Amino acid sequence: MKTKFIFTTGGVVSSLGKGLATASIGALLENRGLKITILKLDPYINVDPGTMNPFQHGEVFVTDDGAETDLDLGHYERFTHAKLTKLNNVTTGKIYYSVIQKERQGEYLGKTVQVIPHITDAIKTAIHRVAQGVDLVMVEIGGTVGDIESLPFLEAIRQFRYDVGKENTLYIHLTLVPYISAAGELKTKPSQHSVQKLREIGIQPDILLCRTECELAKEIKAKIAMFCNLSPDCVFTAKDVASIYEVPLHFHEEGVDEKIVELLNIWTRSPDLLEWKQLAEKIHHPQHQVTIGVVGKYVNLTDSYKSLNESLKHGGFANETEVQLKFFDSEDLNQKDLSQEMQGIDGILIPGGFGDRGIEGKIKAIQYAREKQIPFFGICLGMQLACIEFARNVCGIADANSMEFDEHCSDPVIDLMEEQKKLTTKGATMRLGAYDCAIEKDTLAQRIYQDRHISERHRHRYEFNNAYRDRLNYRGMVFSGLSPDGVLVEIIELPNHPYFIAVQFHPEFKSRPMHPHPLFTHFIRASLLNAQRQSWNSKKSGDNAGDSEKKPTVPETAVEKDQRAQSPQSGG
């Protein structure tokens, strides 16, 4: 079978969910037995999003090979089994940079370098590059139809149909059908105008996904189809759902995947969506609830922590628990009473970040979690700050700090990595991508991973300063995960605490809804146990229930169930 190509565009407004729609369709087609990959084309001029403020563009998602990419690649990996690399995210900046480099090297000698054909050809080359060894390539074009920035990408995908044949390409357009409450009507005009704009460019969509609050009646679909030059059975409702993990199920009920394989003339099996249905059941019928306090400085834009937020939910799925997230701006915490602010918080998480803004508020939250015996989980910067807090308040190193925040501090517990000191550029120069980690025996980390050799994704410039390792270890901090050569600290923990662990890497990039990362599974489990313990203690003191009161228990994780089933003593 020739490789097929599906192009997803969006219209009317941004943030309609092109990434989720693309990932959901990818999940359905993968379930039908097709080997897929997904490519994101971003119209901004940055070479990659690595130097952007998260408020500008949300989180930066890191792949195994160290690419700093758009957050939509996180959706692609969470919904499918596609192995994504630096080739799966292409920006305007990356395209123009490659073309200008070729021009400087003389590859276009004698020619005038133009948007057509040189830029569009480079875009098409990027699409073909990811098509090796797969049945189907899904391509999401960032931005909104009508934006000047995305025109070269739209022209490239217009040409693509003529290059590979109509039978091998499919155009999907995601648009908005708003409900006007004052009139009590759904309005189709924005969708009509969006498709009109797309057709002016030369692209006739084959399928319309209509984002809306409610189901579209047949009459509405027929009207949209007539004005957009489609068959009514190619217009689908993309209804708002309670959880993003229900989108594949809804698309399948609508018949989206069936229409796609029909239009592309592909023979596939029927999709097996049992896992997705079981996941939806867990989401809608949790047995427990916990509240996690996330202390960060990008909390006003939840997309800044997209993978983190989803990974915490995944940990909840594994524990049959609904995870409520409460975000705290770390800049505000330094002046507040945490005993008041943290009421009802069952676990505290400090995510990654850069710069000195809000640092002292995070350190204060870590101290509170350590002293009040609240489950704590630190990620990247969160691990570095846990080391600083411990050095200051347990080891008595008053000036403990990071060189990132104070270049002149006398006790740099966190220092710039040696290989970073000679760098003069910022883009794509951090310690990026997957690195191995060796876990110490008989530690919390080993119990969580059930392994002593792991690989995790990184994104940092600074590291723990080994000159302070013995002093912190003497006072009780365990360095439970190290680089294979023993030089870089990857995981720290406190054995005299119910649950206190922090990691230099980003486990959220490898968590999946069906396969939650063990660090999140165990963090939610510890937080759930803490919530139940607090509830039990409260009832015991209030009701004087004595020993007859049922003590807190938590459900087994999936890993623990498997281990018990395989145990010789299990009777199984």
Region at 427 (left for phi over 0; alpha for psi -120 to 50; beta for the rest): beta
Q: What is the DSSP letter of 122?
A: H
Please state the separation of Cα 5 from the chain's center in Å: 24
Instruction: State the angle between helix axes of 381-393 and 359-371 in degrees (0 to 180), rounded to the nearest 10.
Output: 70
Please state the separation of Cα 315 from the chain's center in Å: 14
Instruction: State the angle between helix axes of 274-284 and 306-318 in degrees (0 to 180), rounded to the nearest 10.
Output: 90
- What DSSP letter does each residue of 221-271 carry, written as one string? HHHHHHHHT--GGGEEEEE--SSGGGHHHHHHHHTHHHHHHHHTT---PPP
CA atoms of 147 and 154, how far apart (whole Å): 10
Q: What is the DSSP letter of 414?
A: E
Burial of 470 (0-12, 13-18, 19+ CB in 10 A): exposed
CA atoms of 506 and 243, how far apart (whole Å): 24
Please state the separation of Cα 294 from the chain's center in Å: 16
Dmax over Cα atoms in the chain, in whole Å?
Answer: 91
CA atoms of 19 and 26, how far apart (whole Å): 10
Residue found under tokens 């008595």: 396
Helix (H, G, I), strand (E, B) or coil at 460: strand
- Closest CA relative to residue 60, chosen from 73, 50, 47: 50
Tally the C-alpha atoms within 13 A of residue 167's C-alpha that lie toward its C-beta.
Answer: 4
CA atoms of 349 and 363, how far apart (whole Å): 12
CA atoms of 415 and 432, how far apart (whole Å): 17
Known catalytic residues are 380, 506, 508
How far does the chain reach from its first CA to its final CA, in angstroms? 45
Say which residues have a Cβ less than 8 Å from residue 207's Cβ, sequence separation at least 6: 170, 171, 172, 173, 230, 234, 235, 236, 256, 259, 260, 263
